[in-house]
Amino acid sequence: MTKILALLGSPRRPSNSSLIAQHFAEGAEAEGAEVTTAALGSLDFSGCRNLFHCKTGGTACGQSDELTPLLQQMHETDILLLAAPIYFTDVSSQMKQALDRFFSFLRDDYVTNPEKSRLPAGKSLVMILTQGEPETHCADVFERYGRAFDFLGFKDRHLLRACRLREPDAVTHYPELLAEARQLAHRLVTARLGTVL
């Protein structure tokens, strides 16, 4: 069974990024996938505190909070879904704090080790980014995180981007965007099941 972990980075509910993620999850579940969804804004956690436990003998993040079990779950996750609005030229602070904790997935010798990640290979990543600004603004966010995603072993990466969404449920007026999320879920899950598309 395909396992999916969806991290929602919007501090408001409903939100456009969360609604798109919901449609992705529904599309995946329709294909038999198991989806775990976590709204980061409702969790009690902090960003990386630079304890360096993960690089000085530890094999995981040294912090213990409500994000910790989700980080542990990522080892068993086949598809990681990150959904966030763009705030002030980057992902929301809730998502950024979680992303900073992903540093713990890098081996202690990641600088020189060609196998940089502690995560098993072959995982897929889907990033949903929404914003109120037009498409020309903040178009580089996904690419900016590319090096980190490479280090973590996410070679199979997909971006769903929705712009000019001002109201928290504005994406409901764009059914084609929601259908695209469902279709992507269908493709990724069935590909893992060996289904010929």
Q: How far is CA 121 from CA 111, 156, 192, 194, in A?
A: 18, 10, 14, 17
d(C-alpha 44, C-alpha 51), whole Å:
18
Identify any residues that bridge with 7 across adjacent strands, giving them in sequence order: 38, 82
Q: What is the per-residue pLDDT for 194?
A: 81
Residue pLDDT, tens place only, 147-176:
999 999 999 999 999 999 999 999 999 999
Confirm whether 186 is domain-assigned. Answer: yes
Tokens of 180: 């695209």
Confirm whether 120 is domain-assigned. Answer: yes
Count of C-beta atoms within a 10 Å radius of residue 139: 14
Confirm whether 49 is domain-assigned. Answer: yes
Tokens of 27: 């599309």
Confirm whether 84 is domain-assigned. Answer: yes
Total tally of structural domains belonging to the chain:
1
pTM for this prediction: 0.96
Residue pLDDT, tens place only, 82-111:
999 999 999 999 999 999 999 999 999 999
3-class SS of residue 75: coil
Domain holding 167: CATH number? Answer: 3.40.50.360
d(C-alpha 28, C-alpha 30), whole Å:
5
Q: Write out the residue range of the structural domain in which residue 24 sits.
A: 3-192
Indicate whether 196 pLDDT > 60: no
d(C-alpha 101, C-alpha 152), whole Å:
12
State the residue for tokens 């769903």. Answer: 160
